Amino acid sequence: MRPLQPATIEYSLLMLVLVNANQEVTPAPLARALGISMPRLAFSADRLEARGLLGRDRDAMDSESSRIHLTRKGRELVQKTEAVAASMESGRPAPMSLAERALLSELLERMDERGPR
């Protein structure tokens, strides 16, 4: 399977734009929602725009402001990613029992205490 390639922040940005597609999506609320700085948001948006996944429109009333939207290619990537996630979840093993979770927790704690080898 070929990797889908968006970084975590970039994928999160795509999803936020998709979820808010019926509203004007501007950079500041997106940066706040992602917990990142405006320069980091601009960098990620630039990368996504260069790949043809996002578009930005200048506000007619305020040339300093822009609105962000998904392109057709961006929507297709989100749909493909959701399909891959759904197929991975369908093959997921049954939930662990309480005893299995306790054992896993104990083993992970031991590994953490020992540190990297």
Give me the pLDDT at residue 1, please.
43
pTM: 0.62
Residue 39 and residue 47 in contact, taking contact as beta carbons nearer than 8 Å: no
**45, two tokens:** 């948006």
> What are the pLDDT tens digits along the chain (117 aa)?
455 555 677 878 888 887 777 777 888 888 888 888 999 999 999 999 999 999 988 876 766 678 888 899 988 888 888 787 777 666 666 677 777 777 877 777 777 666 555
Q: Give the CA distances from residue 114 to residues 11, 80, 87, 100, 111, in Å, rounded to whole numbers and listed in that order.
A: 34, 40, 36, 21, 5
Collapsing DSSP states into helix, strand and coil, what is residue 75?
Answer: helix
Give me the pLDDT at residue 52, please.
93
Residue 56 and residue 64 in contact, taking contact as beta carbons nearer than 8 Å: no
Residues in the chain: 117
